[in-house]
C-alpha cells in the first residue's frame, strides 16, 4: 500500500494520501531556527535547541496524532463551513476534499482542493532570518465570488521544555502576550530578553493571543470557537496559555488568487515589525524561497550520481544526504520522538554524523569538530553527552538572579564524568572524522589548532587524537582486547570490565587512519609508534576473537563469550563481524567467512538483524540487552545503523552483488509501496525496523535522527560507487552488481568539478583497469585539480 511518491524533479516527496499510519515529518530551517513538521502541519519550532528556546508547543505522543501545529483555517463566510489547508486538524472527509503534502528540502507545502477553492500553505524558514514564513495562496476556481475568513494559528510553548511540562504553578504565570501594530508579541517575565512574535503581511481583522479564547472551552484545534464564530476575540493577558491567532477577511473573484503571508519569529515586537515590513514585500518572500532552493541545489551538486538503480539515485542525490545533514545541523535531539528532554551532542553520534557530510557542510562540520574536541577529557575519553554551550564562556553568562525557569550553567566539575560513565567507543570515531574532514577540505591547519580539554589543559587537535588512541590502548583487559566500559556503540551491551571486540576493531581502524595522517604530515616517530600499536591490536584481535566461523562480540567480566557459536542466545552479532572487516583486521579468509555468517544468520528482506538469536532473559553480565523485547531495538531488531557497515564490508571484499542486496533490503525507497508494513516515511531511514522475532516484523520506527542516514550515504557513495578521498587524491574504486554496465558521477572537490564516467563492459563487481583524467591515463589517486576547473574522468572496470 502506498501513500505517496518521489518527485525527483522538484526534489520533493509527495504525500497524496494523507491518512498515513504515523506522522511523516520534515525539518524546516538550516541555521538557528528549526521546525519539525508533519504531513498534517503538526509539529513545533525551536531556536537553536529543542529543550530550551522552545517556541511552539507540541503534545508529544498525543491523541490525536501530532498536535498542535502551524495551521491555516479557511472559513466560507456565506455558509459558515470551515476546513484547514492541511488535512488535520479539521480533517474533512477525504472523499469530499483533496489534500496533498509535499515535503521538500527545508520546506513543506500543504494543499487542499475543496468546494472550488484551491489553497496552498508553504512553510519555510529563510536562510537569513529567524522567522518561519507561512506563504498562503487561495484561488477561486469556481464561478462565484467567495467571501472567506482566513485564520492562522499556532500555540506558544513555555520556553523550556521542562517547565512546559511540569511545575505549572510557576510557569503558567510567567509568560504574557499582547497585540499592537499588527504584531502579537509573546514574552517571558523571568527572561526579559526572550520574545517571540506572530504577524502577517496585512493587518488582521481580529486576533487572539490566548489559546483558550481562540479554541473555546471543551473544544480542540478541530473546531475552534473563533473559526466557527468567524472572528477572534481580541484576547491577551499576562499569564496563561498563549497562541498566535490572526484572522483576515478576504473576498476572491472567480479565477482570482489571494495571497497572505504569516510570520512566526524570534524577537520582540520591534523585530516583528521589521520582519513584517521586509516580507510584506512579497518579492522578498519569493526571493527567500528561491534562495533556500538554491542553497540546497548547491549542496546537492557536490555529489550527484546516475546509475541503473533509481532508488539509490533518489536517496543518495537527495534524501539520505538531507537526512545526514539534518542530524549534523540539529543534533539527534529534535524530532517527534526526541521532543526536547535532552540537549547538546552525543559524542559518538555527532562524530559519526559529521563524517558523512564533510563535503556538503564543511563549516558546520568544523564547528562540530571543535565542539567535540572541547568535550574531550585530557585522559582521552569523550563526554558521552554534553552541551557545547558548557564550554563556551560567552554562553555561560548566567542571569544575576536565581530564576526558576532558566537553565543555569552547571558547575564545571560536575560535568566531567569519570570512567564509570565512559563509553569505550566515543572518542575513537572522531579520529577518522577529522581525517575525513581534512581530506575533503585540505584544511591541514586544523591538526595544529590548539583546543582546550573539557577538564583541564589543552592540546592541538592532533594531540587530542593521540589522547583518544592512547586511552583505548591503556584500557584493555587480560586478553589485550579493549574494555567494554559502560557501553560501546551498542548502548545496551554493558560489558564494564569485560572486553569489547567492536572497540578493538575500531581502535585498529582509528589507528590506521591516524598513521596515514601522520605519514602525510611527516611525523615519523608517530607513524612508527602508532603502527606498532596497530599491529599489536590486530594480533590480539585475531588470536582472541575468532570463534571458528565468525568473530566474538566480546567477553564478559566473568569470562563468558558473547557472540559465540557456543552460546544459546546472542550467537552472532552484526557489529563485531562487520567491524572486523571494515577495520582491516580480519584476514581474507576470516573476512569472507564472518560476512557469510552475517548473511546466513542475520539477513532478512527488511535488512540485517543486529544479532541472532534474540536474548530472552536478563543477564546483568551483558547489560541491558536482555531487558528489551525480542525483535525490538538492540535486542535483535534490524537496527539500521550497523547495516551500512555490512555494505562497506562486502565492498571491501569485492562482493558487489551482496553489498547491493544488503543495501537494497534496508532502503526506505524500496518500501514505498509497503507502508502497511513499514508505516514510517519511505524517504528517511529509521533507527530500527522490528525484527523477525516480533509480531510487527518490518515496521520501521524513529525516523530521521539515526546514524544510518550518514552511514548509508557513506556506504553508497564511498563504497558502492567507490569515490573516496586520500589526503592528496581521489580514489575511484566501485563495487557494484555485475549487471551494471555503466554509471556516472558528478563530484566537486576543493573547487574543481569531476565528471566521472564508469564503464563496466566485462560485468565485474570490482576492479579498475584504467583511469583517465581529461584523456590522460592516471596511476593511483587523481590529484586535486585547479579550483574552477572542469574535469572529465573515465574509468574502465575490469
The smaller minimum CB distance to ligand GLC, of residues 190 and 489, is found at 489
> Which residue stretch of 269-277, 359-367, 487-495, 549-557 sits at the interface with ligand GLC (rule: CB under 6 A)?
487-495
- CA distance linking residue 438 with residue 123, whole number of Å: 36
As beta bridge partners, residue 249 has 149
Place of cell 512579497: 282
**484 touches ligand GLC by CB under 6 A:** no
Query: Does residue 159 contact residue 53 with C-beta atoms inside 8 Å?
Result: yes
The H or E element that residue 675 is part of is helix 675-678
Quick one: which of 44, 489, 505, 573 contacts ligand GLC (CB under 6 A)?
489
> Residues 700-729 vs ligand GLC: string with x where CB under 6 A?
------x-----------------------
Catalytic pick among 491, 549, 599, 621: 491
With respect to ligand GLC, which residue has the nearer C-beta, 39 or 641?
641
d(CA 605, CA 697): 10
Within 492-511, which residues bind ligand GLC (CB under 6 A)?
492
What minimum distance in Å lies between the beta carbon of 333 and ligand GLC? 10
Separation CA 142–CA 257 (nearest Å): 12
Minimum CB–partner distance for residue 487 and ligand GLC (Å): 7
Q: How far apart are CA 711 and CA 731, in angstroms?
A: 19
Closest CA to 53 of 306, 323, 333, 416: 333
Residue 346 binds to ligand GLC (criterion: CB under 6 A): yes
- Residue spans of beta strands (DSSP E) within 399-465: 450-452, 458-460
Helices 426-441 + 362-374 axis angle, to 10:
150
Number of CB atoms found within 10 A of residue 476's CB: 18
Q: Does 687 contact ligand GLC by CB under 6 A?
A: yes
Least distance (Å) from ligand GLC to the CB of residue 554? 14
Which CB sits closer to ligand GLC, 75 or 348?
348
- Closer CB to ligand GLC, 246 or 636, in the complex: 636
Q: Which residue is nearest to ligand GLC (CB)?
A: 491
**Which CB, 90 or 385, lies closer to ligand GLC?**
385
In order of 3, 75, 77, 134, 254, the CA distances from 114 in angstroms are 20, 11, 15, 20, 15
Q: Which residue number, 350 or 670, has a Cβ lying nearer to ligand GLC?
A: 350
Dist. CA 276–CA 280, nearest whole Å = 6
Rule CB under 6 A: choose which of 634, 650, 693, 733 binds ligand GLC.
634
Query: Nearest approach, Cβ of 428 to ligand GLC (angstroms)?
Result: 13
Which residues pair with residue 306 across a beta bridge?
744
Rounded to whole angstroms, the Cα distance separating 50 from 71 reads: 20
Annotation marks residue 286 as catalytic: no
Nearer to ligand GLC (CB atom), residue 83 or residue 347: 347
Say which DSSP state 619 is in.
Answer: B
Query: Which of 11, 181, 40 is CA-nearest to residue 110?
Result: 40
**To the nearest whole angstrom, how small is the minimum distance from the Cβ of residue 686 to ligand GLC?**
11
Q: Of the two residues 351 and 405, which places its CB atom closer to ligand GLC in the complex?
A: 351
Give the shortest CB-423-to-ligand GLC separation in angstroms.
8
Shortest spacing between CB 645 and ligand GLC, in angstroms: 12
The least CB distance from residue 687 to ligand GLC, in Å, is 5
C-alpha cell at 447: 591538526
Residue window 431-470: x/- pattern of binding to ligand GLC, with contact defined by CB under 6 A: ----------------------------------------
Q: Which residue lies nearer to ligand GLC by CB, 706 or 714?
A: 706
Work out how close the CB of 272 gets to ligand GLC at its nearest, in angstroms, rounded to a whole number. Answer: 37
> Binding to ligand GLC by residue 657, rule CB under 6 A?
no
Report the candidate in 29, 683, 26 with the shortest Cα–Cα distance to residue 318: 683
Q: Is 127 helix (H, G, I), strand (E, B) or coil?
A: coil
CA 519, CA 109: separation in Å to the nearest integer? Answer: 51
> Residue 628 interacts with ligand GLC (CB under 6 A)?
no
Stretch that binds ligand GLC, among 56-64, 130-138, 267-275, 486-494 (CB under 6 A): 486-494
Stretch that binds ligand GLC, among 102-110, 225-233, 448-456, 489-497 (CB under 6 A): 489-497
Task: Pick the piece of the chain touching ligand GLC (CB under 6 A) from 33-41, 488-496, 540-548, 716-724.
Answer: 488-496
Whole-angstrom distance, CA of residue 73 vs CA of residue 75 = 7
Burial 162-178 (b: 16+ CB within 10 A, else e): bbbbeeeeebeebbbbe
- Which range touches ligand GLC (CB under 6 A), out of 39-47, 211-219, 485-493, 740-748? 485-493
Site for ligand GLC in 311-340 (CB under 6 A): 332
Among 187-195, 269-277, 483-491, 693-701, the segment contacting ligand GLC (CB under 6 A)? 483-491
Contact 235, 153 (CB under 8 A): no
- Shortest reach from residue 304's CB to ligand GLC, in Å: 29
Site for ligand GLC in 60-119 (CB under 6 A): none
- Binding to ligand GLC (CB under 6 A): which residues in 179-218? none
User: Using CB atoms within 10 A of its CB, is residue 617 exposed (0-12), middle (13-18) or buried (19+)?
Assistant: exposed
Size of site (CB under 6 A) for ligand GLC: 12
C-alpha distance from residue 547 to each of 387, 457, 473, 584 (Å): 41, 43, 23, 17
Cβ closer to ligand GLC: 489 or 713?
Answer: 489
Among 113, 205, 491, 726, binds ligand GLC (CB under 6 A): 491
Q: What does the H/E/C string look like for 692-760?
A: CCCCCCCCEEEECCCHHHHHHHHHHHHHHCCEEECCCCEEECCECCCCCCEEEEEEEECCEEEEEEEEC
DSSP state letter for 317: I
C-alpha angle 37-97-153 in degrees, rounded to nearest 5: 40
**Toward ligand GLC, which CB reaches closer, 121 or 706?**
706
Select the span of 263-271, 342-350, 471-479, 540-548 touching ligand GLC (CB under 6 A): 342-350
Whole-angstrom Cα distance, residue 501 to residue 562?
9
For residues 91 and 607, which CB has a smaller minimum distance to ligand GLC in the complex? 607
Does the footprint of ligand GLC cover residue 349 (CB under 6 A)?
A: yes
Other C-beta atoms closer than 10 Å to the C-beta of 141 total 14
CB of 635 to ligand GLC, least distance (A): 11
Out of 307, 314, 331, 490, which residue is the one contacting ligand GLC (CB under 6 A)? 490
Measured distance CA(6)–CA(667) in Å, rounded: 14
Question: How are beta strands 752-759 and 790-797 bridged, if at all?
Answer: parallel
Stretch that binds ligand GLC, among 206-214, 274-282, 484-492, 527-535 (CB under 6 A): 484-492
Q: Which of residues 528-587 bind ligand GLC (CB under 6 A)?
A: none
* Among positions 348, 467, 571, 601, the unique one binding ligand GLC when judged by CB under 6 A: 348
CB of 642 to ligand GLC, least distance (A): 8
The helices-and-strands tally (H runs, E runs) of the chain is 21, 41
Segment (H or E) for 576: helix 574-582
Alpha carbon 64 to chain centroid, angstroms: 25
Q: Report the nearest approach of ligand GLC to the CB of residue 490 (Å).
A: 5
Beta carbon nearer to ligand GLC, 90 or 482: 482
CA distance linking residue 717 with residue 711, whole number of Å? 10
Catalytic residue ranges: 491
Chain contacts with ligand GLC (rule: CB under 6 A): 332, 346, 348-349, 489-492, 634, 641, 687, 706
Amino acid at each position: 500500500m502506498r501513500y505517496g511518491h518521489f518527485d525527483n524533479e522538484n526534489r520533493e516527496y509527495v504525500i497524496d494520501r494523507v491518512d498515513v499510519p504515523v506522522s511523516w515529518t520534515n525539518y524546516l530551517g538550516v541555521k538557528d531556527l528549526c521546525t519539525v513538521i508533519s504531513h498534517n502541519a503538526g509539529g513545533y519550532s525551536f531556536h537553536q535547541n529543542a529543550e530550551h528556546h522552545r517556541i511552539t508547543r507540541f503534545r508529544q505522543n498525543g491523541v490525536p496524532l501530532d498536535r498542535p501545529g502551524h495551521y491555516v483555517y479557511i472559513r466560507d463566510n456565506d455558509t459558515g463551513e470551515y476546513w484547514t489547508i492541511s488535512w488535520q486538524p479539521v480533517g474533512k472527509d477525504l472523499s469530499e476534499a483533496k489534500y496533498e503534502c509535499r515535503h521538500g528540502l527545508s520546506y513543506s507545502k500543504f494543499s487542499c482542493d475543496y468546494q472550488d477553492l484551491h489553497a496552498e500553505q508553504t512553510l519555510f524558514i529563510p536562510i537569513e532570518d529567524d522567522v518561519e514564513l507561512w506563504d498562503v495562496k487561495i484561488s477561486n476556481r469556481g464561478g462565484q465570488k467567495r467571501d472567506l475568513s482566513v485564520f492562522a494559528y499556532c500555540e506558544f510553548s513555555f520556553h523550556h521544555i521542562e517547565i512546559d511540562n511540569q511545575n505549572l504553578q510557576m510557569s503558567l504565570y510567567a509568560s504574557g502576550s499582547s497585540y499592537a501594530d499588527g504584531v502579537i508579541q509573546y514574552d517571558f517575565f523571568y527572561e526579559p530578553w526572550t520574545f517571540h512574535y506572530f504577524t502577517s503581511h496585512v493587518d488582521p481583522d481580529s486576533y487572539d493571543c490566548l489559546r483558550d479564547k481562540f479554541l473555546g472551552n471543551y473544544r480542540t484545534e478541530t473546531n475552534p470557537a473563533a473559526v466557527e464564530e468567524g472572528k477572534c476575540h481580541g484576547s491577551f493577558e499576562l499569564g496563561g496559555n498563549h497562541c498566535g491567532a490572526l484572522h483576515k477577511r478576504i473576498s476572491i473573484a472567480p479565477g482570482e488568487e489571494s495571497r497572505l503571508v504569516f510570520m512566526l519569529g524570534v524577537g520582540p515586537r520591534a523585530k516583528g515589525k521589521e520582519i513584517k515590513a521586509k516580507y510584506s514585500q512579497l518579492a522578498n518572500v519569493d526571493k527567500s524561497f528561491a534562495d533556500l532552493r538554491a542553497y540546497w541545489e548547491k549542496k546537492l551538486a557536490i555529489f550527484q550520481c546516475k546509475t541503473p538503480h533509481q532508488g539509490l539515485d533518489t536517496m543518495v542525490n537527495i534524501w539520505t544526504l538531507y537526512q545526514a545533514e539534518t542530524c549534523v545541523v540539529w543534533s539527534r535531539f529534535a524530532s517527534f520522538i526526541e521532543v526536547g528532554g535532552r540537549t547538546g551532542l552525543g559524542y559518538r553520534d555527532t562524530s559519526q554524523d559529521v563524517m558523512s557530510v564533510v563535503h556538503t557542510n564543511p563549516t558546520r562540520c568544523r564547528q562540530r569538530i571543535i565542539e567535540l574536541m572541547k568535550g574531550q577529557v585530557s585522559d582521552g575519553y569523550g563526554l558521552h553527552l554534553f552541551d557545547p554551550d558548557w564550554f563556551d564562556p560567552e554562553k555561560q553568562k548566567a542571569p544575576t538572579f536565581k530564576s526558576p525557569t532558566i537553565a543555569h550553567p552547571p558547575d564545571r566539575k560536575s560535568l566531567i564524568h569519570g570512567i564509570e560513565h565512559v563509553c569505550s567507543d566515543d572518542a575513537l570515531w572522531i579520529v577518522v572524522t577529522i581525517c575525513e574532514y581534512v581530506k575533503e577540505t585540505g584544511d591541514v591547519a586544523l591538526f595544529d589548532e590548539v583546543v582546550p580539554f573539557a577538564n583541564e589543559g589543552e592540546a592541538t587537535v592532533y594531540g587530542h587524537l593521540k589522547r583518544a588512541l592512547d586511552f583505548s590502548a591503556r584500557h584493555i583487559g587480560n586478553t589485550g582486547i579493549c574494555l567494554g566500559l559502560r557501553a560501546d556503540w551498542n548502548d545496551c551491551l554493558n560489558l564494564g570490565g569485560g572486553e569489547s571486540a567492536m572497540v578493538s576493531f575500531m581502535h585498529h581502524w582509528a589507528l590506521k587512519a591516524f598513521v596515514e595522517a601522520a605519514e602525510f604530515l611527516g611525523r615519523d616517530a608517530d607513524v612508527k609508534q602508532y603502527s606498532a600499536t596497530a599491529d599489536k591490536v590486530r594480533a590480539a584481535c585475531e588470536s582472541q576473537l575468532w570463534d571458528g566461523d565468525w568473530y566474538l562480540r566480546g567477553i564478559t567480566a566473568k569470562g563468558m563469550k558473547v557472540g559465540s557459536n557456543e552460546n544459546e542466545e546472542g550467537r552472532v552479532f552484526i557489529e563485531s563481524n562487520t567491524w572486523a572487516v571494515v577495520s582491516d583486521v580480519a584476514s581474507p579468509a576470516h573476512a569472507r567467512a564472518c560476512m557469510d555468517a552475517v548473511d546466513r544468520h542475520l539477513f532478512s528482506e527488511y535488512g540485517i538483524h543486529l544479532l541472532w538469536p534474540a536474548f530472552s532473559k536478563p543477564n546483568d553480565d551483558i547489560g541491558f540487552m536482555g531487558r528489551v523485547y525480542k525483535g525490538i531495538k538492540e535486542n535483535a531488531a534490524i537496527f539500521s545503523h550497523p547495516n551500512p557497515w555490512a555494505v562497506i564490508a562486502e565492498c571491501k571484499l569485492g562482493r558487489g552483488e551482496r553489498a547491493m542486496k544488503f543495501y537494497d533490503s534496508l532502503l526506505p525507497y524500496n518500501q514505498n509501496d509497503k507502508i502497511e508494513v513499514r508505516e514510517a516515511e519511505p524517504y528517511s531511514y529509521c533507527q530500527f525496523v522490528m525484527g523477525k522475532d516480533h509480531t510487527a516484523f518490518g515496521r520501521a520506527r524513529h525516523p530521521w535522527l539515526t546514524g544510518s542516514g550518514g552511514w548509508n550515504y557513506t556506504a553508497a557513495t564511498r563504497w558502492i560507487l567507490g569515490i573516496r578521498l586520500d589526503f592528496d587524491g581521489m580514489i575511484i574504486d566501485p563495487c557494484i552488481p555485475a549487471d551494471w554496465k555503466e554509471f556516472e558521477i558528478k563530484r566537486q572537490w576543493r573547487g574543481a568539478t569531476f565528471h566521472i564516467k564508469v564503464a563496466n563492459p566485462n560485468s565485474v563487481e570490482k576492479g579498475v583497469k584504467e583511469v583517465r583524467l581529461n584523456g590522460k591515463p592516471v596511476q593511483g589517486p587523481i590529484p586535486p585539480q585547479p579550483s574552477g576547473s572542469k574535469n572529465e574522468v573515465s574509468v574502465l572496470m575490469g
